[in-house]
Structure 1
Amino acid sequence: MMKKRQYNLVNIIYNDLFFYGKQQLFLLLLVLTSAMLVILVTYNTRSMIMDREKIFLEKDALDTEWRNLILEEKILSDHSRIECIAINELQMHYVDPTQNNMFN
């Protein structure tokens, strides 16, 4: 009777890759390296895009705050408002030019 020979699949793959397929193994490593670099670049690009969007949102918020501060400054520096506060709260009044005595 003939004995059936069993082959070890791991040894066959090892022999094929390292003794007969060095170019194919090298190309496989290049493809895997390229795929990992594509994943890394895509991740970094998406992170930068998200950071850019956050910066634009912050810029818009700061622009809105700046416009509100400019409006508040204009309202607070309005002459009629200042005059009203001077008369009502500080009891100031206009000086009559006839009562003005500069040299005593």
Structure 2
Amino acid sequence: MSQSSLSLPKIVIQDLWRHKVMVLLAILVLFNAIAVVLTADKTRKLTSKWDVLQQSQDRYDIEWRNLLLEEQSLSEHSRVTRIATKQLDMVRPMPKEEIIIRTK
């Protein structure tokens, strides 16, 4: 009995050596499975990050549009005229007070 248990590892190694192509294919399949899992995980993480970046871009686009609207409303001619007359006490000059400068 003890002799057969000692020869068992030797028999297993000989059997593996005889079927080395099958062992190599099994190892390659195992590495391929690990690569698929790692690739799927990385793809999932990148997709999640892309979604977050898309949401940020949408928020910035909305903020940009709001700032453009605010800029347009603050630069309206009637508003500028109203602030100039009320807060800065500015008046439109009379035509006789206007000086026209011509350039050559």
TM-score by length of 2: 0.77
Question: 4+ residue stretches of structure 1 with deviation over 3 A?
Answer: none
> In structure 1, how many angstroms separate the alpha carbons of the residues matched to 2:7 and 2:41?
37
Total equivalences in the alignment: 98
TM-score by length of 1: 0.77
Find out whether 1:54 has 2:48 as its counterpart: no
What letter is aligned with 1:22? K
> In structure 1, how many angstroms separate the alpha carbons of the residues matched to 2:51 and 2:27?
36
Q: CA RMSD in A?
A: 2.3
> In structure 1, how many angstroms separate the alpha carbons of the residues matched to 2:26 and 2:93?
95
Q: CA deviation at 1:10?
A: 6.2
What letter is aligned with 1:94? R
Identify the residue that residue 100 of structure 1 maps to in structure 2: 97
Q: Percent identity?
A: 34
Identify the residue that residue 70 of structure 2 maps to in structure 1: 72
Q: Which structure is higher in helix share?
A: 2
